[in-house]
Structure 1
Amino acid sequence: MSGFLFVVPPLVGHINPAVGVAAELGARGHRVAWDCPDGDVVRGLAGAHAPVFPCAGTAGGERPADLRGAEALRFLWEWFLVPLADAMAPGVRAAVDAFRPAVVVADQQAFAGALVAERLGLPWATSATTSAEFGGAYDGVPKVAAWLGDRLAELRERIGNPDGTADPRFSPHLTLAFTTPELAGPTDRPAVRHVGPSISARPAAEGFPWEWLDPSRDRVLVSLGTANTDVGGRFLAECVSALRERADRVQGLIADPGGTLPPAPDDKDLLILPVLPQLPLLERVDAVVCHAGHNTVCEALWHGVPLVVAPIRDDHPVIAGQVVDAGAGIRVRFGRVTAPKLGAALDTVLHEPAHRTAAARIRTAFRAAGGAPVAATHLEELAAEETR
C-alpha cells in the first residue's frame, strides 16, 4: 500500500473535495495524512482522528471589499497565496520527511505542496478545487500572465527546485479536476482528469428543523459561502425582499454566518441560520442563489438544481460564466441587483424548464465521471508508476 500526503490551505471549500478522496484511499488500505495550517478545520471535515502534520500559515489578511479584477488578483497572490506558500513550506518538508508519502496531493492554492515535492523529486498531483484557470483566463492579458509567472519563479527559487519548470497550479503528473467538460468546457492542459465533484458525508446537522419545510411550496437555498461575510449584507437583504414577495409559493432558506440579517423566529416563509446543512438540503430544494463559488455550484448541479449566480470576486465570474454558458442558471450583478430583478431571475429558473433540463444534463455527467473513487484510482496509478 502507498502513502498519500494531502497539502491544503486552511479553507473549507478547498478541503471538502479532498476529504472524499482521502477517505476512499484510506478505505482501500493506503496510508493517508494531511498537512494544513489549521488541523482543527481538517479534523472537523475529515474526522477527529485524521492525522494532520502542523505547519505555519493563515487564511490571509482582511481584503478590501471593493477590490475587483486585476487588483483583486494581485491582493490574492501578494497577501495570501505567496505568503501562505512561504509559511507552509518548512512544515510540508517536515511532513514529507516524517510520513514518507509515495505521492503528494497539493491543493491548487497550496503551492508549497507542489514546490516542496518538486524539490525532493517526489511525484505530486494537483487537487483543482476550481476550474477557473483551465481555460487560460489570463492568456489574453500578457502583463498579468507575466506578473504571475514572475511571482511563481521567485517562489520556486525560495522553496522549490530552481531548475524546475512545472506550474505548481497544474501538475504535469496528474491534475484532478472536480468538474466535467459539460460545465467547465474543454481544456488542452495535459494530465487533467475530469472526475466530477467529490461528494462525501458531512458532519451531522443536529437540531435542524426539517419539519419546517413545506412540500406545497418551492424551496430556495441562498448561500454566499464561508468567505464572503464581509460583503454580503446588502445582497442578502435583497434576497429576503424577493423571497417575501413570493411567500405564497416559495420558502427561502438563507445562510447568514455573519449575522447581517435580523433574526426571524417562528417565520414560516424564511429560515435564516448561521449555517445550513447544504448537502442534504440540496436534495430537497428547487433552486439555489449563490456567489458562484465552485463547490456550491457543483454541489447544486450534482443534485440537478438550477442556479441564480451573483459572482463577487476571484474565480466567481468565470464559474458564473460556465453556469450561464451551460444553460443551468441565470447571472445577476452582485453589487447592483435589486429584489425585483432577483425575483424575476428566480421565477425563471423555478418555472421555465430549460435551466432545470440543463442542470439535469450536468448532473448526469457529474455522476458518470465517478467522483472520489475515480480520483483515488488515478492517484493509485500515479503511485504505481513511480514504483516500477
Structure 2
Amino acid sequence: MSRFLIVVPPFVGHVNPVVGVAAELAERGHEVAWAGDRDLLDRLLPADSTVFPVACPLPDRPADVRGFAAWKFLWEAMLVPLAHTMLPGVHAAVEQWRPDALLVDQQAIAGALVAGRTGLPWATSATTSSEITDPLATMPAIGGWVRGMLTDLRLRFGDPLHDHDLRFSPHLVLAFTTPALAGDPAVAAPVRFVGPSRRPTRPIDFPWDWLDDRPLVLVTLGTANDDAGAKFLADSVAALRARPGLQAVVVDPAGTLADVPANVLCRAEVPQPELLDRAALVVCHAGHNTVCEALDRAVPLVVAPIRDDQPVIAEQVVRAGAGVRLRFVHAGAERIGKAIDAVLTEPGYRDAAKRVQESFAAAGGAADAATGLEFLARSA
C-alpha cells in the first residue's frame, strides 16, 4: 500500500472534488493525508482525516475586478504569494508524512515546487478545466507573463533542471471533466479525464418538507462571490417571484435577501448534491464544481460568469448545448426569467445535459482517478 499527500489551496471548490478521490484511496487500503488551511479542511473533510496545517493567507479581493484585471489580481496578488507562504508548511508535511506520491491542486503551486525539489512523483488535480484548454492562447502576452512568474518560482524554489509548467505535472493530470464538456486539451500534458468525483456528503440542516412537486430551481454563486452577488441574487428572486409555478432554493451566504416570495427559500448553506438530485435547473456563476455536479445529474443550467475561469466554463456549457449564458452585471430580472423559461421548456438543453452526464459516467470518476494515482505511486 502507498502513502499519498494531497496539497490544496484555501478554496472550497478546489477541495471538494478531491474528497471523493481520497475516500476511494482509503477504501483501497492506502494512507492519505492533506496539506492546506486547517480551518477549511476541518470543516470539509471527515473528522478522522490526517491534516498538516499550512499557512494560506489571502488578500481581500475587490468585488468589481473583471477581465484581465481579475487574472492579474489572481496571479500577482493571490497565487504567487500563496506559493511563497505555503512552501514551508508543505515541506514540513512531506518531511513528516513521507508520501510515495503527491496530488497537487493547480493553484497550490507550492506542492509542485516541493515535489520537484524532493524528486517525488506528483499528479496535478485540475479541479477546473480552464487551464487545460489554455484560455490565454489568444492572449500570448498574458500567457507569457503567467509562464514567466511560474518559471521564476521553479528556478528559485523547485527543480531548476526541468522546464515543465508547474500547473501540469509531467506524470499525470487528473481532469474532473470530460471532452464532451471541456473539449480536447490544448496543453502538452498527460491529461486523464475522470469526470466529476462524487464526494461523501456532510450533514447540513435543510427543511426537506418545504419542497413539493413543482420544478425546483437552485440558485447559487458558489462560496467565493459574496462580495459581488447581492444584485444578481435579488434579480433572480424577482424573476422567480413572477413564476409561482416554480420552487427555488437560493444560496445567500451573506444574508442579503429579504422579503422573498413564498416559492423561494433562502439559506446560507445548502446540501448541494442532494438538492441537485431533485433540481430541474441550476442558475449559477459557472463555477466548475457547480456546473459539473449539475451536469452529472443531467440538470441544465443558466450561467452568469463573474471572473477567473468562469467565462471559460460558461462557454463550455453553451458549446455543449446544456445551458444559456447571461452577462452577470447586466442580467436583470427580466433576462434571468426568460433564460429560466427557455431552459426549462426547450428539451434540447436537458438532452445535451444528458449527453454530458453519460460521458461523465463512462469516465470513471473517483475510482479512475485513484487507479491513476496508484499507478503513479507504483512507478516511482
Question: Structure 1-normalised TM-score?
Answer: 0.96
Which residue of 1 is the match for residue 135 of structure 2? 137
Q: What SS does structure 1 have at the residue aligned with 2:348? A: helix
Are positions 1:269 and 2:263 aligned together?
yes
Q: Hey, what does 2:54 align to over in structure 1?
A: 55
- Code of the aligned partner of 1:260: T
Could you tell me how far apart the structure 1 residues matched to 2:228 and 2:139 are? Answer: 28
Residue 344 of structure 1 deviates from its aligned partner by 0.7
Q: For residues 296 and 375 of structure 1, what CA distance do their matches in structure 2 show?
A: 19
Report percent identity of matched pairs.
Answer: 56
Instruction: Please give the alpha-carbon distance, in whole angstroms, between the structure 1 residues aligned to 2:110 and 2:264.
Output: 43
Q: Do the aligned partners of 2:38 and 2:54 also contact (CA within 8 Å) in 1?
A: no
Kindly state the Cα deviation for residue 44 of structure 1 after the two structures are TM-superposed: 2.3
Residue 11 of structure 2 is aligned to residue 11 of structure 1: yes
Q: Taking structure 1 as reference, are residues 19 and 263 closer, same or farther at Cα in structure 2, changes over 3 Å only?
A: farther
**1:21 paired residue number:** 21
* CA distance, structure 2, for counterparts of residue 261 and residue 325 of structure 1: 33
* 4+ aligned runs moved over 3 Å, structure 1: none
d(CA) in 2 for partners of 1:162 and 1:263? 59
Q: Which amino acid aligns with 1:117?
A: A
Structure 1 partner of 2:145: 147
Q: Which residue of 1 aligns with 2:250?
A: 254
Q: Give the Å deviation of 1:263.
A: 5.7
Deviation of residue 202 (structure 1)? 1.7
SS in 2 for 1:134: helix
Query: What residue identity is the alignment partner of 1:86?
Result: H
The answer to whether structure 1 residue 385 and structure 2 residue 379 are counterparts is yes
Residue 196 of structure 1 pairs with residue 192 of structure 2: no
> Does the 8 Å contact 1:242/1:343 carry over to 2?
yes
Distance in 1 separating the partners of 2:255 and 2:43: 22
Distance 1:57 1:164 in 2: 26
CA distance in 1, matches of 2:31, 2:259: 46
The answer on 1:159 being equivalent to 2:157 is yes
Q: CA deviation at 1:135?
A: 1.7
Aligned ranges 1:34-45 → 2 under 5 Å: 34-36=34-36, 38-45=37-44
Query: In structure 2, what is the equivalent of residue 214 of structure 1?
Result: 212
Equivalent residue, structure 2, for 1:347: 341
CA distance in 2, matches of 1:52, 1:370: 27
Task: Encode CA deviations 1:342-384: one digit per residue, 9 max, x unaligned.
Answer: 1110001111100000001111111111110110000001111
**Is the CA contact 1:107–1:128 (under 8 Å) kept in the aligned structure 2?**
yes
Q: Deviation digits for residues 280-331 of structure 1, max 9, x if unmatched?
A: 0001110000000000000000010000000000000000000000000000
Paired residue secondary structure (2:218): strand
- Displacement of 1:187 in angstroms is 1.3
| Residue in structure 2 matching 1:226, options 223, 227, 231 | 223
CA distance in 1, matches of 2:122, 2:259: 47
Match of 2:138, SS state, is: coil
- Residue by residue, what CA displacement relative to the aligned partner does 1:9-47 show, whole Å, maximum 9, x if unpaired? 1111100011110111111111110100x2232132221
1:33 corresponds to 2:33 = yes
Separation of aligned partners in 2, 1:80 and 1:298 = 25
Deviations 1:80-116, CA, capped at 9 Å, x for gaps: 1011111111111111111111111100100000111
Comparing 364-373 with 43-52, greater Cα deviation is found at: 43-52
Provide the C-alpha distance between the structure 2 equivalents of 1:30 and 1:376, rounded to a whole number of angstroms. 10
| Alpha-carbon distance in 1 for matches of 2:4, 2:100 | 6
- 8 Å CA contact 1:86–1:159 kept in 2: the answer is no
Structure-2 separation of matches of 1:329 and 1:140: 25
Partner of 2:176: 178
CA distance in 2, matches of 1:158, 1:49: 36
After TM superposition, give the deviation of residue 162 of structure 1 in Å: 2.0
Unaligned ranges ≥5, structure 1: none
Secondary structure of the residue aligned to 2:132 is coil
Deviation larger for 152-161 or 165-174: 152-161
Encode CA deviations 1:177-198: one digit per residue, 9 max, x unaligned. Answer: 0000000001143310000001
* Distance in 2 (alpha carbons) for counterparts of 1:348 and 1:177: 30
Paired residues, number: 379
Aligned equivalent of 2:62: 64
Residue ranges of structure 2 left out of the alignment (5+ in a row): none
Alpha-carbon separation, structure 1, partners of 2:377 and 2:24 = 15
Give per-residue Cα distances to partners, 1:219-254, cap 9 Å, x unaligned: 10000001000010110111011000001x111110
Counterpart residue number, 2:108: 110
1:79 aligned residue: 77
C-alpha contact (below 8 Å) 1:177/1:196 kept by paired residues: yes
